[in-house]
Structure 1
Amino acid sequence: MRFRNLIFGLLMALGLSPVALAQSFAKYSDEFPETVKAMYHIPVAMRDGIELATDVYLPKEGGTYPTLLIRDIYTNGSAAGRQKYAKFATSNGYALVFQSVRGRYDSDGKWYPYFQEINDGDDTLSWIAEQTWSDGKVGMFGSSYLASVQWLAAVNRNPALVAIAPAVSPGNYYRDVAYPGGAFSLLSRASWGIGLVGSKTNMSFPVDWVKEIKHLPLDTLAESVGFNVKHFQDWIDHPSDDAYWKPLNLEARANEMAVPAMNIGGWYDVFLRSTIGSYKTMTEEAATETARKGQRLVIGPWPHGWNQQTKIGDMQLGDNSLIDAPEMLLEWFNYWMKGDAKPSSLKEDEAPVRIYVMGENVWRDEQEWPLARTTYRPFYIHADSTLSTEASTAKSASMKYDYDPADPVPTLGGNIMSAKLRGPFDQKPLDGREDILRFVTEPFTQATEITGPISAEIYASSSAPDTDFMAKLIIVKPDGSALNLVDGVIRARYREGFDKPKLIEPGKVYKYEIDMWATSYKLSPGDRIRIDITSSNFPRLARNLNTGADFAKTSEMKIANQTIHMSKKYPSKIVLPIVP
């Protein structure tokens, strides 16, 4: 049984939405078998005495079992989707432990995201290992926050944790969750951090987050819509990568972890950078050889909510993008937890990486990431709005635009949580905006694959002491449609490091390096590449108000006069990974 079958099972088994769960766990919709024993709301004490509500499902009375653990913030375990997890586990010889994390639903304590999961996850693993029904081996699976708790629990290297399968999970909480490129991830942090998990249970108060987050200053945003949420205030009070974020930089803590992991992400997922980062750092730095060799990476054509149909945004995918084989999840855990035969994905001659190549719409196995055969080709921007592999020979060349925070470029697609905005969208609705510079290639004459990490190097000056610069990679089809692939941002004050804020000198030219994460797309003959450069992406990212003031503390705005330089001296470009 090949790696692709294992992966197909894992991906849909870990789906985030009820639709995905219905697809992937359809066979587990019936009633529990009479042999299953359920114990609800067991108070499990943490090291500080706080008790967490924990449900246990056993395949039958008596005996010992390996355990699958779910630690959740979104339900108390009674939801149909979570019940399917229990039926899935018990039907296949596993106990399932479902726990509401500290401060959520029926668990005691004060809710505060992320930090508390390190010790609470460790304590829960130890508790499971001590139970008479446990054989001492625990695996964890789940997506998004349910994936975060897996990595956070792994930091303490609890011997009970033998394998995990985190899907669409952050790994560097400053750079992925809160401040990509140094710009605050406003829509997701507000709608999730305040509106969804700002209390003990998920809230559904009538707040239009797209409209309401226009409020300034940002440090009174929660109050303006009627909330007082400490973790949100802490996030906006730490706009630099300082000591607050250090415990949550799990990429930097790979040498503290020793757990095999199936790392699963999506090209349009908000946490794509960390899915790749976790795989890379764990393969290189994990504490044991078993863990280093036990990492696998799978990236499909999904946003954060997983793919539930063959069309995402405005991009039509192949029928093979719909995958539903949850039984293959068992192959991963059965090997690590039951001693079953080694799955093909762990054999020396099998590829540890599997990616979906959009455009061509095929799955492909690879031996490493990034691909060793990649050629990194620069494409330079020119003052005639062209984009080409030829560097400029001009002594002086530039283009200008004005960025007005009162009229920011609206978010249209990309790696974002919002179900309405995420994924690939035709960029035509933004065509009339004069605060976007667009540079496009000639049509490609042959099929060309772009797979791997993407970056932009922009030389720019501004009239402001602080501002943002953003780059977006777009595929222009022969019919004129323009679909976004990836984008990135850098806040000017963080050009020298996210822990080193330093304002810029107005009028001075600086080099800005923009991490645009990664993608995989095969261009067809006739397709063109376009790069858009601008200074806002709202409400996905908080607006830079261009004043140089401390973040979130002011309502004052200024228009920034931006100049993008593209001469021989200042060769602004995007670097694309071309796969032969």
Structure 2
Amino acid sequence: MMFASRVLQRLLRLPAPQTRHIVVRRDLPIPAADGVTLLADHWAPAKPGGPLPTVLMRSPYGRRGLAGTLLARAYAERGFQVVLASVRGTFGSGGGEFLAMREDREDGQATLDWVTRQPWFDGSVLLAGPSYLGYTQWAVAAGAPACVKGMVPHVTSARLALAFLRPGRIELETLLSWSVSTATQERPFGMIRSILDGARIRRAMRTLPLAVADQVALGRQWPFFQECVHHDREDPYWRQWDHSADVASVSVPVNTIAGWYDIFLADQLRDYRALVGAGRNPRLTIGPWVHASLEGAGVAVREAVDWGGALCRDQPVPARKPVRLHVMGSGRWREFDQWPPADHPARRWHLAPGGGLAAAPVADAAPSRFRYDPAHPTPSLGGARLEARGGGRVDNAPLERRADVLVFTSPPLERDLEVIGEVGAELWIRSDRPSTDLFVRLCVVDERGRSTNVCDDLVRAEVDGVTKVGVELSPTAQLFRRGQRIRVLVSAGAFPRYARNLGGTEPLPTGTRLYPATIEVWHDPDHPSAILLPTASPALRRASPAD
């Protein structure tokens, strides 16, 4: 265990522990309100030397894997007791088969009640954990008892999977991969199974109709996948499991940790803004991380130990501004009073004929045109993915060489250009199909010509003639250095990250017919297609094309 502790410290870049001698009590029964028995493990220093606050984490991923080896041990070695509980339907907790996002409020409240009745409880609880473990924090936050002193939601949101289910589009890769993972995670031979599952998942993602993809991947229907395919996030079906409406009423102090390439970033910032709008004082940290980043996990643990530990012990919290951001391209962290920063107004960079970016639309510019074929869809590359492998920043050359991708590039910048905040695009398009997806990606091109992705997103648009389409790219903080160039990619898909638009009028879950589309992007003065970059005013005046 000493070796594991030292590896943990190095992996997560943690300060030295208070102790490396930890005692774990396994499979403790917790009664749920409806009589179901949930199981938890209790981690604590072997010689606590007095009362210690409790970190509570509720997880669907088991108690002996990474959640225990990494997170529970990290907190226990640094002066906390830890309760790591398995959510209903997973790893010994009763209630039948795992149904994601169900009963997490009721079971979380029952678990909190159980913690307060334990003889070792010192009167203070910190809620912590990433992803689904963060969703379980939000599930109980609005009605949390006074003993909950703080929460540290990490790469997560109060409505979890609904982030992938915007009307008309599905983040297929994340949804199907996570469905298969949770459906099979308790089977033996996990390493071999993950290799085999990967091949089946790739085949399943190309299956039509979309509603049978889980059967191809698993050999049976998986309830959560079916729910997501047939109910988008605006559907009242999700109302009782969507906790985002309760965020503004949360009075528990919140310290939220996000990543620029995380699948939940936009929703996590939505939760943050709801707290600020309600007069709360949350903290926000965003680093250059993908969802499964160990570096991000280490920052979340350090914030929980330092900030959360101070709250639990009624001590002053470490001083800093509310917003702390890693500015990519600079290698620096910066602190701000608010998100988005007030001194970064949006400025337009116009798409121009011949693949340029200009300060103003070009007169008499013919539209740019490309053809999208859902039988051979534009692939996804890098960006926000559930798995760390293949996500984040990548070389975009394979995309930029494709005939179904438009590329628009600025001249080399004369001075540094800092972009921090919400990135948007306004594109005027025409298509010969009634429904068209539009994927827009912002890239930075270095002095050697290597193009790497900064942020992106996809929307589904109903097109009637030349139609203006707005795209909200994921937020970012990026320094474009002198001599580098800004690049914008436009396509009609990013598969399998997003399910294909088949081009017809059949419903998304049941459609099978494929219709290629010819798409035009207009960029004349009457149709000023542009990307909107939130840019520090002095840098913009020095670095942008002539006003």
Q: 1:105 touches 1:200 (CA, 8 Å); kept in 2?
A: no
- Once the 2 structures are TM-superposed, how far is the Cα of residue 251 of structure 1 from its aligned partner? 3.6
CA 25–100 in structure 1, closer or farther in 2 if over 3 Å, else same: farther
Structure 1 position 343 matched with structure 2 position 311: no
196, 208, 222: which one pairs with 2:181?
Answer: 196
500, 504, 508: which one pairs with 1:551?
Answer: 508
Structure 1 position 219 matched with structure 2 position 214: no
In the aligned structure 1, how far is the partner of 2:73 from the partner of 2:477? 36
- Once the 2 structures are TM-superposed, how far is the Cα of residue 511 of structure 1 from its aligned partner? 1.5
Amino acid at match of 1:161: V
Instruction: Note the aligned Cα RMSD (angstroms).
Output: 2.6
364, 375, 380: which one pairs with 2:345?
Answer: 375
- Once the 2 structures are TM-superposed, how far is the Cα of residue 164 of structure 1 from its aligned partner? 0.8
Match of residue 242 from structure 1: 235
Match of residue 107 from structure 1: 93
- Give the TM-score normalised by the residue count of structure 1: 0.84
In the aligned structure 2, how far is the partner of 1:570 from the partner of 1:325? 45
Structure 1 unaligned segments of length 5 or more: list them: 1-17, 309-320, 494-503
CA 338–29 in structure 1, closer or farther in 2 if over 3 Å, else same: closer
Match of residue 566 from structure 1: 523
In the aligned structure 1, how far is the partner of 2:67 from the partner of 2:409? 45
Amino acid at match of 2:106: N
Match of residue 143 from structure 1: 130
CA 80–552 in structure 1, closer or farther in 2 if over 3 Å, else same: closer
- Give the TM-score normalised by the residue count of structure 2: 0.89
Structure 2 unaligned segments of length 5 or more: list them: 1-6, 539-547
Match of residue 434 from structure 1: 403
CA-to-partner distance for each residue in 1:293-335, whole Å, 9 max, x for gaps? 2x10001111112255xxxxxxxxxxxx997795664221222
Give the 5 Å matches for 1:48-63. 48-59=34-45
CA-to-partner distance for each residue in 1:459-513, whole Å, 9 max, x for gaps? 11211122201111111112111111111111115xxxxxxxxxx44xx222211
In the aligned structure 2, how far is the partner of 1:469 from the partner of 1:239? 19
Match of residue 302 from structure 1: 289
Amino acid at match of 2:182: V
Amino acid at match of 2:21: F
Q: Secondary structure at the match of 2:124?
A: strand
Structure 1 position 453 matched with structure 2 position 440: no
In the aligned structure 1, how far is the partner of 2:300 from the partner of 2:519? 51
Identity rate, percent: 28
In the aligned structure 2, how far is the partner of 1:44 from the partner of 1:153? 16
- Once the 2 structures are TM-superposed, how far is the Cα of residue 423 of structure 1 from its aligned partner? 0.7
CA 567–370 in structure 1, closer or farther in 2 if over 3 Å, else same: same
Q: 1:438 touches 1:531 (CA, 8 Å); kept in 2?
A: yes
- Once the 2 structures are TM-superposed, how far is the Cα of residue 257 of structure 1 from its aligned partner? 1.8
Match of residue 152 from structure 2: 165
- Once the 2 structures are TM-superposed, how far is the Cα of residue 93 of structure 1 from its aligned partner? 4.2
In the aligned structure 1, how far is the partner of 2:471 from the partner of 2:70? 42
- Once the 2 structures are TM-superposed, how far is the Cα of residue 537 of structure 1 from its aligned partner? 0.3
Q: 1:174 touches 1:249 (CA, 8 Å); kept in 2?
A: no
Amino acid at match of 2:372: Y
* Relative contact order higher in (CA < 8 Å, ≥ 6 apart): 1
Q: 2:400 touches 2:489 (CA, 8 Å); kept in 1?
A: no
Match of residue 60 from structure 2: 73
Amino acid at match of 1:121: G
Q: Secondary structure at the match of 1:344?
A: coil
In the aligned structure 1, how far is the partner of 2:240 from the partner of 2:37? 23
Match of residue 83 from structure 2: 97
- Once the 2 structures are TM-superposed, how far is the Cα of residue 30 of structure 1 from its aligned partner? 8.1
- Once the 2 structures are TM-superposed, how far is the Cα of residue 168 of structure 1 from its aligned partner? 0.8
In terms of mean alpha carbon deviation, does 325-334 or 468-477 score higher?
A: 325-334
In the aligned structure 2, how far is the partner of 1:424 from the partner of 1:80? 25
478, 484, 505: which one pairs with 1:521?
Answer: 478
CA 306–512 in structure 1, closer or farther in 2 if over 3 Å, else same: same
Q: Secondary structure at the match of 1:468?
A: strand
In the aligned structure 2, how far is the partner of 1:355 from the partner of 1:239? 32
Q: 1:174 touches 1:245 (CA, 8 Å); kept in 2?
A: no
- Once the 2 structures are TM-superposed, how far is the Cα of residue 201 of structure 1 from its aligned partner? 2.4
CA 525–83 in structure 1, closer or farther in 2 if over 3 Å, else same: closer
In the aligned structure 2, how far is the partner of 1:469 from the partner of 1:398? 16
Q: Secondary structure at the match of 1:254?
A: helix
Q: 2:52 touches 2:79 (CA, 8 Å); kept in 1?
A: yes
- Once the 2 structures are TM-superposed, how far is the Cα of residue 339 of structure 1 from its aligned partner? 0.9
Q: Secondary structure at the match of 2:108?
A: helix
Structure 1 position 424 matched with structure 2 position 393: yes
CA 477–322 in structure 1, closer or farther in 2 if over 3 Å, else same: farther
In the aligned structure 1, how far is the partner of 2:496 from the partner of 2:9? 27
In the aligned structure 1, how far is the partner of 2:204 from the partner of 2:8? 29
